[in-house]
């Protein structure tokens, strides 16, 4: 995955990533709205418009540079704002908001895989390769964002079950922002990348076998 460095490949990756992240972020806001928090709606984030979700540096340039350096890409969008105090079910409601994004990507991957199989596209055709890349990126976003590391979405599920001392530690880490999280993810990539890649590969094989 992410091994081809041709311009055409990078264009497909950026396009697929933009669509996938926009849907991912919108679904955070939709679930938050459904659970009673209107913060995302008031910020204009209940939309598929990529201009509302994509950050030029973090969403486009950072993963492109990492791919060119043969490193695992990190896809970061503008976080959808929501107030956990407003959602129903307290921390469990906040966990549902967090999980909405990754599972939205899983849904896109499943739909794309079904279309790929129904249309019987060749894996060597341009459209077939593009759909395969789209599936891989969405599976990558699904697995990667479920890692229980703040500010990734999986940490919201951990918040719901973690004891209070661990919650306080996680809040402090999350408050440090992406300036701490991104370097840490890059440092931990030799450990995280094989796990994520293997799980993505297994799900991908299941969907397309």
Contact between residue 146 and residue 102 where contact means Cβ atoms under 8 Å apart: yes
The Cα–Cα gap between 41 and 82 comes to 9
**Given the residues 25, 41, 136, 164, the one annotated as active site:** 25
Helix (H, G, I), strand (E, B) or coil at 137: helix
Residue 169: what pLDDT? Answer: 82
Residue 179: what pLDDT? Answer: 72
pTM, to two decimals:
0.88
DSSP code, position 46: S
9-32: average pLDDT = 91
Active site residue 164: no
Residue 3: what pLDDT? Answer: 57
Does the pLDDT value for residue 45 go beyond 90?
yes
What is the pLDDT confidence band of residue 4, given thresholds at 50, 70 and 90?
low
152-168: average pLDDT = 84
Mean pLDDT of the chain: 87
Helix (H, G, I), strand (E, B) or coil at 15: helix
Higher pLDDT, 171 or 108: 108
Contact between residue 54 and residue 78 where contact means Cβ atoms under 8 Å apart: yes
Residue 60: what pLDDT? Answer: 77
Q: Each residue of 81-138: pLDDT tens digit?
A: 989 889 998 889 999 999 999 999 999 999 999 999 999 888 788 899 999 999 999 9
- Dihedral sign for Cα atoms in the order 137, 33, 52, 181: negative
């Amino acid at each position: 995955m992410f091994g081809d460095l041709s311009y055409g490949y990078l264009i497909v990756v950026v396009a697929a990533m933009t669509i996938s992240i926009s849907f991912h972020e919108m679904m955070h806001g939709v679930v938050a709205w459904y659970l009673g928090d209107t913060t995302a709606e008031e910020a204009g984030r209940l939309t598929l418009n990529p201009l509302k979700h994509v950050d030029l540096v973090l969403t486009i340039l950072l993963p492109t540079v990492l791919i060119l350096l043969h490193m695992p890409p990190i896809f970061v969008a503008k976080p959808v704002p929501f107030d956990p105090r407003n959602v129903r079910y307290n921390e469990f409601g906040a966990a549902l908001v967090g999980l909405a994004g990754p599972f939205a990507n899983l849904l896109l991957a499943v739909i794309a895989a079904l279309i790929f199989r129904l249309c019987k596209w060749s894996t060597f055709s341009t459209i077939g390769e593009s759909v395969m890349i789209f599936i891989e990126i969405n599976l990558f976003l699904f697995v990667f964002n479920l890692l229980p590391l703040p500010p990734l979405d999986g940490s919201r599920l951990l918040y719901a079950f973690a004891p209070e001392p661990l919650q306080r530690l996680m809040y402090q880490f999350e408050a440090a922002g992406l300036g701490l999280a991104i370097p840490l993810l890059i440092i931990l990539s030799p450990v995280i990348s094989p796990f994520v890649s293997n799980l993505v590969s297994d799900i991908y094989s299941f969907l397309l076998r």
